[in-house]
Amino acid sequence: MTEHQHHHKAQDMLAVMSRNGWRITDQRRTLANIFSTTEQYLSPKDVYDQLTGKYPSVSFDTVYRNLRMLSEMGVLEQFYFMEGGLKFKSSCLDHHHHHLICTNCEKTLTFDFCPMQDTLKLPGNYKIVSHRFEIYGICEDCQKETAVQS
């Protein structure tokens, strides 16, 4: 991603925050920058470590609460990894796709097929607002490594 794309992504995240009534503080701007410059999943601790460098007084609770709220706003996607626990990454706000996630190295591939386009026989009479679809597996690189080791 170019510098321009990072900036654009951070701006999009901040725009969603202010639409949700959040004051855009320096701290939140930094938070948006952290997520717009990485494609990796970050644990609350990763984010906390990056923020405390700049804002020594920030508490872990505050960071965690912000991450949870940002994922409820749809700005961040959260995934639960068996080993690493709950982690967050910025959502793709410009088009709809789903994820293939390696449980070993956490590398994520996006794919455009959406099972919701087929008629699903869902229980209850829900008006569906949004959905997420994740497939967990072992990526090609990790499979090769395992093959070499055994």
Give the residue numbers of the binding site for Zn(2+).
102, 105, 139, 142
User: Which token pair is 88?
Assistant: 């967050």
Tell me the longest C-alpha to C-alpha distance in the chain: 54
Phi-psi region of 113 (alpha: psi -120 to 50; beta: other; left: phi over 0): beta
Bind-site residues: 96, 102, 105, 131, 139, 142
Instruction: Name the nearest CA neighbour of 106 among 139, 57, 70, 143.
Output: 139
- The three-class DSSP label of residue 118 is coil
Binding site per annotation, positions for Fe cation = 96, 131
